[in-house]
Amino acid sequence: MRISEIFYSIQGEGILAGVPSVFVRLSGCNLRCTWCDTPYTSWNPEGRDYSIDEIVAEVLQSRDRKGAAATPHSGRHVTHVVVTGGEPMIADGIVELAHHLKESGLHITIETAGTVHKDVVCDLMSISPKLANSTPHERDGGRWAAQHDRLRYQPELLRRLAREFEYQLKFVVTSPQDLVEIESMLEEISADRGRVVLMAEGTDATTIRERAVWITEICKREGFRYSPRLHIDVWGNRRGV
């Protein structure tokens, strides 16, 4: 499997924000979001090939090594792993990887755009359906726009993921007008509104704070959750945090 990075940090987004976690970032994506904050896994995928055993070993070593740096016994309390990308669900070996991580006693979150289904095991399917604001009409000459738009929203597949997994629906929001599209999606897929998470698009703390002002008002009105981007707040737009 092509891996761009494995690192220990905190979950910065969604309903598990703040939870210490080991991140496994797979390289490769079937979408090309114009605002992608990890272009090294999509627009310009990079990394090296790992075996399943190598990935699991490095996850456990990252957990124990980094945890031990805090207190002599803290490593045993790091129980969460986040499999992310890119789009991890397109990776050959994702089913086997998830199985081995689960056998290691870890809580597994898989972060996906919800465009591909695999028979994985996980404790939280973090589904982030892409809105029209993600379509790259101008980036890279617009050559990815038609394919991206065709793939980004798969309502039947989203319904299936919601039936089969504990899930959250995390939407990346750029303007209040995005709510019209979000409401249409939620109605079509019959989603549980209590599992909907809105998150500001942005890779700097100032932009996120500005958008948070009106996004939180939408959440209060509609009963959605607001998600911060804690890793941006703490470390800025850096890799491996």
Question: Residue 120 and residue 1: Cα distance in Å, rounded?
Answer: 15
Q: How many residues does the chain have?
A: 241
Give the mean model confidence (pLDDT) for residues 153-160. Answer: 98
**Angle, helices 155-164/178-189, rounded to nearest 10 degrees:** 60
Determine the 3-state secondary structure of 105 from DSSP. coil
Question: Is the separation of the CB atoms in 18 and 9 below 8 Å?
Answer: no
Dihedral (Cα; 64, 68, 71, 74), 10-degree rounding: 0
Distance CA 193, CA 127 (A): 14
Structural domain count of the chain: 1
CA 85 to chain CA centroid, Å, is: 7
Whether 218 is covered by a domain: the verdict is no
Of the given ranges (25-29, 177-181, 232-236), which has the lowest mean pLDDT? Answer: 232-236
224 in a domain, yes or no? no
Q: For residue 143, how far is the Cα from the chain centroid?
A: 25
In a domain, 237, yes or no: no
CATH number at residue 12: 3.20.20.70
The C-alpha atoms of residue 209 and residue 4 are separated, in whole angstroms, by 29
Q: Which two tokens stand for residue 145?
A: 């726009």
Domain membership of residue 220 (yes or no) is no
10-47 tens-digit pLDDT: 999 999 999 999 999 999 999 999 999 999 999 999 99
Mean pLDDT, residues 192-203 taken together: 97
Query: Does some domain include residue 104?
Result: yes
Tens of pLDDT, residue by residue over 96-138, are: 999 999 999 999 999 999 999 999 999 999 999 999 999 999 9
What pLDDT, on the 0 to 100 scale, is given for residue 35?
Answer: 96
Q: Any idea what DSSP says for residue 106?
A: -
pLDDT at residue 240, rounded to an integer: 86
Residue 116's domain spans which residues? 2-169
Instruction: Give this prediction's pTM.
Output: 0.93
Residue 182 falls inside a structural domain = no
The encoded tokens of residue 176 equal 């209040």
Q: Which of 222, 145, 136, 147 lies closest to 186, judged by CA?
A: 222
DSSP character at residue 41:
G
